[in-house]
Structure 1
Amino acid sequence: MFKLNLKIALRNLWKNKGFSLINIGGLAIGLASCMILLLYVAYEWGYDKQFKNSDKTYVVYQSVVANGKTFSWSWTPNAMAADIQEKFPGVKYASHSTYPRLNLLTVGDKKISSKVVFANPNFLKILDYTFIKGNAAAALKNVNSIILTKSMAEKLFGNEDPLNKTVKFENQDVLKVEGVIEDTPANSSIHFECVMPWELFVKRETWAKEDNWGNNMCLTLVQLKDNNAFATANTEIKNIYKRHDKEIAAVALLHPLTKWHLYGDFENGKSIGGKIDQLKIFLLLAFCILLIACVNFMNLSTARSERRAKEVGVRKAIGSTRKSLVSQFFLESLLITFISTALAFILIEVSLPYFNNLLNIKLNIDYYNVSFWLALFGLMIFTGFVAGSYPALYLSSFEPVKVLKGLRLKTDSSVPVRKVLVVGQFVFASCLIVCTAVIYQQLNYVRNKPIGYNQSNLVQIAIDGKLRDQSKLEVLKTQMIKSGAATNVTFFNSDFTEGGNNTTNIEWEGKNPKELISFNHRGIGYDFTETIGTEIISGREFSAKFPNDTSSVMLNEAAVRMMNLKNPIGAVITFWGTRLTNVGVVKDFVVESAYQKVAPMIFYLNTKDNATMIIARLNPNQNISASLGKIEALVKEMEPNYPVNLKFVNESFEVKFQDEKLLGTLSNWFGGFAIFISCLGLLGLALFMAEQRKKEISIRKVLGASTANILTLLNKDFIKLVAIANIIAFPLAYIIINKWLSAFEYRINISALPFLGAIILSVLIAILTVSIQSVKVAKANPVDALKYE
């Protein structure tokens, strides 16, 4: 029986090549879109879950109330891990480590800037990376040792065995390679290329020797013996700051490692979501696209119902049961799904490199993974049964006596179902059009919103090695300007577009002693405002003409507002116990999130070789490439032992919009696919309607109706469907997009433009799609439809 049904299914596919092609193509695009989105969701969902005990591992966060709201960070004191390990009985391991930073590694003539993490031995016990070479049990115990990742070992030593060879660190410390581990997974929150002992960090940074509960400077990871101990451990850790320093108002909490990436947004000290919200959108998008493709299959299958009516009648007359007919139609659906899946794989393999480049990730299909094949099989069965359900039940319901007598089938009952399905498709399509338009409006609004400084031709160069000497920096500054490569040069103590240091240890006259205010604090050089292209609102900036500027600060406008200073110039501010005088107010400019209000900032003069970045304004009258070449040559001449790490500020700033760009791009692409597949659904309904009204159209033509009259007649019904879809879609789209925008302090007002665009676009798409079939019917010779009457 199965063999017979398969033969019938194949013959039907071959007989109706056009319909088969549309069906297979629609399902293939739907399946490919769904699978790419599911691959991305699986990639993001797998973040930090590669480790054996990831479910028992936690990141220690601190929460502090400041500026009227609660801030939560995964930055903790250097003393935290040892205290937890010693005093918390439910803890198996606790580790502290630095966050990855760039440092120089040298082997012979090879000089490579590598991402370095300093950590204690427990770090590699909690995050159990696979050791390719070396003894995992002895890792990080020798102060002059280093653990390399596989790719870094290859960069430094090529095909040689790196074990027990030496690496020079920052041209100072000679380190012995005691192990090689697998590269950190792409979907891991911590990316590094080598690990070094914490003792080496303390040896180089003497300030880190003392336990300091007021300095949140490292990452603390905790692995519990059992998750039953979580509630107790989380309660005990809450007041760990207070137990060691009563002046510290922060509280600590344990945040699951497996949720670190996806649930990174905190409110009132509790995780409220984050990238998981974006993943939910993509998951919904994946299944909606697949559902739209299934709906098309239903519409197209039932559109030719009269063509298969006699087949059903004959088969029922010779004894076929409805159950066997249902099986037949489900088999056809599964066969088309199988062929569509094969085609979908081709589409995926062709498009994945593009999406990987677009998303800057490495999505790939693991053909050796049993879970993948089980998931794919389940998706195929789901698609086949959903797509084939309505056609199977509808086509198998025909009455053989009426069919074989030549009576017209009462197919009107199926028309409302088709209309509902098409309306559902266009509800989704219209929602996507509106949401995508608003996402791009919001992105453009924030991109074009004044950021308070001029990014054009602004570059930053990392300060390494001998350049850390303040006197050498001043010489380099002079040479860069004298060469004509730069018009202005200054210094900054962190990456210009990233978050830096924060403190609540600021006092001033009139401050409420019970209120905590968080300030961003940055060290800057002379000519800072002129170099970055911002303004001094009042007072002056730091200058070599004023030797006492080492005892001065500058504030931004947000700080003046927060401190409620009526006369900010000359105001005395106590910064970490030192009394300093404010000499200037700087216009607010964005250095952290472009979506949030500018934080209060306090600037001090870089004096103790603590600058980490040179900020230079390239000469607009010179060729950019030539200017960059001159700057690199000057830096190399002064410090030949380090590679020149130079980047444009606007490129770094663009990274801030990565998540929103990703959401907009994926919504755009897959929204386009959804609209295209929806058009196939309209085409299916148009084919059905044209076939049902063939004689009516012919009679109208005989009576004098023009092609335009008939096109208007046929399109009118579809425009009504699209209008109904838009009426349903717009409130849904407004609710969704309003909720998304509520996460931003700087956001657009939702205008009527996206909704108007959705109406025009959806109606235009509907008219064009329907007209493709309608023109063919309207121009047909009416005699062909009426001659047998």
Structure 2
Amino acid sequence: MFFINFKIALRNIQKNKLFSLMNIGGLAIGMACCLLLLLYVSYEWGYDKQFDSIDRVYITRVNININEGLATSIASPNKLADAALQRLPGVELVSRMNLGGDYNKLFSHDRENYKLDARSVDPSFLKIFEQKFIYGNAATAFHTPESVVITTSTARKLFGKKNPVGQIVKYDNRRLLTVSAVIEDLPENQSFQYDALLSWAFFEQEHPDNKNNGWGSITCTTLVKLKDKNQFEAADAGMRKLIRSNDPKTQLEAFLFPFAKYHLYNEFTNGKVSGGKIDQVKLFSLLAFCVLLIASINYMNLSTARSEKRAREVGVRKALGSTRSSLMGQFFIESMLFSLIAAIVAFGLLELCLPYFNNLLGIAMKIGYGGYPFWLTLGILVLVTGLLAGSYPAFYLSSFTPIKVLKGLKGIGRSSLPIRKVLVVLQFSLSICMIICAIIIYSQIQFMRNKPLGFSQNNLVELNLEGEWRKPEKLQLFKAELKKSGAVIAATEFAQSFTSDGSITGNFSWPGKASNDQSIINYRSIGYDFSNTIGAKIIEGRDFSPEFVADTSTSVLVNEALVEKMGIKSPVGKIVHWGDNPPLTIVGVVKNYSNETIGGKAVPTFFYYNVKKSNILILSINPAMNLSAAVGTIKQISQQLNPAYPLAVTFIAQDLKNKLKSEQLLSVLSNLFGGFAIFISCLGLLGLALYMAEQRKKEISIRKVLGADLKSILILLNKDFIKLVILSNVIAFPVAFILANNWLKSYDYKISIAAAPFIAAAVLSLGIALLTVSLQSFKVAKANAVDALKYE
């Protein structure tokens, strides 16, 4: 029976090529979109899952009591690791990893010089995250502080194809290190990415003050591996008490967070996980389901639109003894066949689109042909799509009564028409909702791009202070040469990358500060000419200047947000205190600017002069000079004065643009898949139009004979469909508003949801629907009335 039904299905495909093409095309596009989104979801979900014991690995997060709320950081005291290993019985291994923007360092061998991402870790790190060793092993990898572990790609860069173990590399053009092991290149969906690993002992040699940090200094990441995952609750409870037991006055509380969730759950509110990348993964999963659902509904509509043509077949087969279950089986086999063919076509579309999708996301997803999960997912997708798409046609078409359909086809299919209309409304409602959300997301991105940031991002670049630039006289010479060349008009030092998060302190006080005020304040080290370089405005007082000796030790700048926090009307000249430092005098107030978050409010921040603590040089490029020529001049001068270090120039505007990457991706995908959803929905609408035209062929012919013109017939045929699309808009509008409004809540600065996106989506959906239906309506309206009425 299966093979008979299979042959019938093949014959139906051959007999009805147009319907088959539309069915397969709609399903193929829906399945290709679904597969593409599921591939991305799988990629994100697979982060760090390559480690066998990942369910026993935790990262220590720290809750900080900030301004009457809790902020959560991955930074922890460097004393926490040893204390956890000694005092928490469930802990098997712990490791520290250095924090900050001090990762990219110069590694040299012979004449090869490369900037590498090098992390400092404890030896146990190699056992917490099971590394795959090409040369060497975890036991001897850090047998001396000067040992370095490198990846395969790094080894190839520095040493070619030979075994690098035992070879000497120069670190930061100062110290000699010995390669002790080589590990495999890291998968791209691993949270911690690095080119080399250094020992924590070496880190402490480079930063001797680190050993003296107290329990209030959060300077590293702490990683923990438990003996048994069932000991988590006890270990976590002990970890939460650990800092306070050593520092009763602390505002810090450490806790264990599963590392398997580190990538996806990276946002916290008041000390509890509140989302992160997982929100995007959920959204894309929902988007995949919606597109597949729209494609399945399209199949239902197209299949049942042929009800009159299939009715006689059903009647004859039932008269000859076929049961309803066998007929349902036939229609399910047919839908499965369509689903299978669509899956093959979708496969080709997936392979074609994947490179562009990878480029859009900036990742390198691959189809896992060699693993069973991919084939299992594909099989389930074909099965689910076939059952979902074939369910309504199977139940509906198999329900025809033989005596009625064999007497005549009058009225066949009319009972299903309301259901088909509901399906069309559902299709268009989902599509319109996606289009509205896409427009609002795009508008918010444009708003954040165009919103004044409070500084001049254009023509601002930054570079690392390293090598010769660590010598004050050489740095001053470099800045002087840059200005002399005309490539740069201003320069200043800064703590870290200008667009990244910086340091915080709870030991900042001011006149009138309440005794129970536990405010956490941001601070940044800067150089002279700061406001002029970045284009920020000093609204009161002055900037740091070499003319004032006190600026190097006892002066600070504050921003407007900090002035508001302090509640001081005239802050210039006021004395403030910061930890054990001498009393500091406020000499200027900087107008608020946004450089670390796009769409977020400025946070209370003070600035102090300290070139030694600054790691970045910010340059304002001369707008009168060609940008590429100016950057070339900067590199040329750098090569002359600091030849050992290849210069990497970073554009601050590009860094800011990258901060909108998630929103841009969401906007592009909403537009892309919303467009596909509209296209598939129009196929469903076309199916319904074909059915209606078939049903009303004689009526239209009679109207034409009685004198009806083309315009009135087109209006007659189209008005019902327009009503459906208008109803779809009415349903989609409130849903889209709720979704968009909830998404916008995460931004301090955001657009107001106006009527324009809704009007645009309505006009777009009505225009496309009208065009789709009119193509078929026009064909029917222009047909010769005699052809439909001649047998009467």
TM-score, normalised by the number of residues in structure 2 = 0.98
> What's 2:632 paired with?
629
Alignment match of 1:588 (pick from 568, 592, 595): 592
Whole-angstrom distance in 1 between the partners of 2:447 and 2:59: 35
List gaps (5 residues or longer) in structure 1.
Answer: none
Separation (CA, whole Å) in 2 of partners of 1:582 and 1:150: 52
Q: Secondary structure at the match of 2:463?
A: strand
Pairwise CA distance, 1:576: 2.3
Deviation at 1:211, TM superposition (A): 4.7
Check conservation: 2:311, 2:400, Cα contact below 8 A. yes
Rounded Cα–Cα distance in structure 2 between residues aligned with 1:510 and 1:56: 48
Q: Secondary structure at 1:642's aligned position in 2? A: coil
Deviations 1:448-481 (A, max 9, x none): 1111001111111111111111221111111100
Report if aligned partners of 2:332, 2:394 keep a CA contact under 8 Å in 1. yes
Counterpart selection for 1:680 from 658, 675, 683 = 683
Q: SS of the residue aligned with 1:511?
A: coil
Q: Match for residue 758 of structure 2?
A: 755
Tell whether the 8 Å contact from 2:97 to 2:220 is kept in structure 1 after alignment.
Answer: yes
Q: 1:514 aligns with which of 507, 516, 520?
A: 516
When structure 1 is superposed on structure 2, of 679-688 and 232-241 the one drifting more is 232-241
Moved more, 4-13 or 317-326: 317-326
What SS does the corresponding residue of 1:262 show, helix, strand or coil?
coil
1:771-786 correspondence to structure 2 within 5 Å: 771-786=774-789
1:371 aligns with 2:358: no
Q: Which residue is 1:489 aligned to?
A: 491
Which stretch of the first structure deviates more once superposed, 719-728 or 29-38? 719-728
2:559 corresponding residue in structure 1: 556
Asked if the contact 2:308–2:412 (Cα under 8 Å) also holds between the matched residues in 1, the reply is no
Please state if 1:721 is matched with 2:724.
yes
Mapped pair 1:68 → 2:68: yes
Stretch of structure 1 that moved more, 312-321 or 85-94: 312-321
- What whole-Å deviation, never above 9, does each CA across 1:40-97 have from its counterpart, x for those lacking one? 1111111222211111111111111222321110001111111101110011111111
Which of 595, 598, 605 matches 1:601?
A: 605
Residue 279 (structure 2) aligns with: 277
Q: CA–CA distance in 2 between the matches of 1:773 and 1:162?
A: 71
Corresponding residue SS for 2:660: helix
Moved more, 289-298 or 223-232: 223-232
Equivalent of 2:325 in 323, 329, 339:
323
How many angstroms does 1:443 deviate by?
A: 1.3
Task: Report SS of the residue matched to 1:331.
Answer: helix
CA distance in 1, matches of 2:492, 2:121: 33
Aligned partner of 2:410 in structure 1 is 408
Contact 2:541 2:572 in 1 (8 A): yes
Instruction: State the shift of 1:407 in Å.
Output: 4.3
Distance (Å, rounded) in 1 between the aligned partners of 2:470 and 2:683? 64
Query: 1:631-682 deviations in whole A, cap 9, x for unaligned?
Result: 1111111111111010111001111111111111111111111111111111
- C-alpha separation in 2, matches of 1:326 and 1:409: 21
Counterpart check, 1:209 vs 2:211: yes
Instruction: Show CA shifts across 1:532-577 (max 9, x none).
Output: 1111101011111111111111001111111111220011111222
Tell me how far apart the structure 2 counterparts of residues 485 and 163 of structure 1 sit (CA, whole Å).
Answer: 44
In 2, are the aligned partners of 1:32 and 1:344 still within 8 Å (CA)? yes
CA–CA distance in structure 2, aligned partners of residues 250 and 572 of structure 1:
27
Deviation at 1:610, TM superposition (A): 2.4
Report if aligned partners of 2:120, 2:199 keep a CA contact under 8 Å in 1.
yes
Any residues of structure 2 matched to 1:436-447 within 5 Å, and which? Answer: 436-447=438-449
Structure 1: how far apart are the matches of 2:273 and 2:108?
42
1:468–1:611 contact (8 Å) kept in structure 2: no
2:574 aligns with one of 567, 571, 596? 571
Structure 2 Cα separation of the partners of residues 760 and 407 of structure 1: 38
Q: TM-score, normalised by structure 1?
A: 0.98
Tell me if the contact between 1:241 and 1:249 (Cα under 8 Å) persists in the aligned partners.
Answer: no
Aligned to 2:339: 337
Shift of 1:137: 2.2
Partner residue in 2 for 1:449: 451
In the alignment, the residues of structure 2 paired with residue 549 and residue 211 of structure 1 have an alpha-carbon distance, to the nearest angstrom, of: 26
Q: Deviations over 1:110-148 (max 9, x none)?
A: 100000110001111111121122112222232111111
- Structure 2 equivalent of residue 223 of structure 1: 225
1:781 corresponds to which letter in structure 2?
N
Alignment of 1:123-142 (within 5 A): 123-142=125-144
Displacement, 1:403? 2.2
The separation in 2 between residues aligned to 1:409 and 1:178, in whole angstroms, is: 83
> Aligned-pair distance for 1:409?
4.1
How many pairs are equivalent? 788
Distance 1:451 1:437 in 2: 23
Matched-pair contact (CA < 8 Å) for 1:66–1:515 = no
1:135-534 map, 5 Å: 135-534=137-536
SS of the equivalent of 1:152 reads helix
Instruction: Tell me the residue number matched to 1:4.
Output: 4
1:50 pairs with 2:54: no
The aligned amino acid for 2:103 is: R
Match of 1:701 in 2: 704
3-state SS, counterpart of residue 413 of structure 1 = helix
Displacement of 1:723 in angstroms is 1.4
Per-residue deviation, 1:410: 3.0
Offset at residue 269 of structure 1 (A) = 0.7
In 2: Cα distance, 1:605 partner to 1:656 partner? 28
Secondary structure at 1:137 match in 2: coil
The answer on whether the counterparts of 1:403 and 1:409 sit within 8 Å (CA) in structure 2 is: no
In the aligned structure 2, how far is the partner of 1:156 from the partner of 1:771? 67
Contact kept in structure 2, 1:77 and 1:218, CA below 8 Å? yes
User: Structure 1: how far apart are the matches of 2:692 and 2:152?
Assistant: 63
Q: Give the Cα separation in 2 of the matches to 1:277 and 1:610.
A: 37
Q: 1-side partners of 2:65 and 2:656: how far apart?
A: 28
Determine helix, strand or coil for the equivalent of 2:427: helix
Moved more, 93-102 or 186-195: 93-102
Percent of matched pairs sharing the same residue:
50
Matched-pair contact (CA < 8 Å) for 1:264–1:271: yes
**Residue 748 of structure 1, CA deviation:** 1.6
Contact 1:131–1:179 (8 Å) recurs in 2: yes
Shift of 1:246: 2.4
SS at match of 1:238: helix
In structure 1, C-alpha distance between the alignment counterparts of 2:241 and 2:471, rounded to whole Å = 41
Offset from partner CA, 1:126-185 (integer Å, 9 cap, x none) = 111211221122222321111111111111122222222221111122222111112222
Q: Work out the CA distance in 2 between the residues paired with 1:95 and 1:405.
A: 82
Letter in 2 for 1:537: I
SS in 2 for 1:491: strand
Whether the 8 Å CA contact 1:554–1:583 is kept in 2: the answer is yes
Aligned to 1:35: 35
Cα deviations by residue, 1:354-399 (Å, 9 ceiling, x for unpaired): 0100010111110011111111111110100111111111111222
Query: Any idea what the Cα deviations from partners look like across 1:296-332, whole Å, max 9, x if unmatched?
Result: 1111011111111222122222222222111111111
Instruction: Identify the range of structure 1 (737-746 vs 383-392) with the bigger mean alpha-carbon deviation.
Output: 737-746
Mark the runs of 5 or more structure 2 residues left unpaired by the alignment. Answer: none
Matched-pair contact (CA < 8 Å) for 2:307–2:412: no
SS at the partner of 1:583? strand
* 2:21 counterpart letter in structure 1: L
**Matched letter for residue 283 of structure 2:** I
Q: For 1:124 and 1:241, how far apart are their aligned partners in 2?
A: 26
Partner of 1:89: 89
Residue in structure 2 matched with residue 664 of structure 1 by the alignment: 667
For 1:84 and 1:184, the matched residues in 2 are separated by 28
Please tell me the residue identity of whatever aligns with 2:711: A
Question: In the alignment, which residue of structure 1 is the partner of 2:745?
Answer: 742
| CA drift at 1:239 | 2.6
SS of equivalent to 2:414: coil
The answer as to whether partners of 1:146 and 1:176 remain within 8 angstroms in 2 is yes
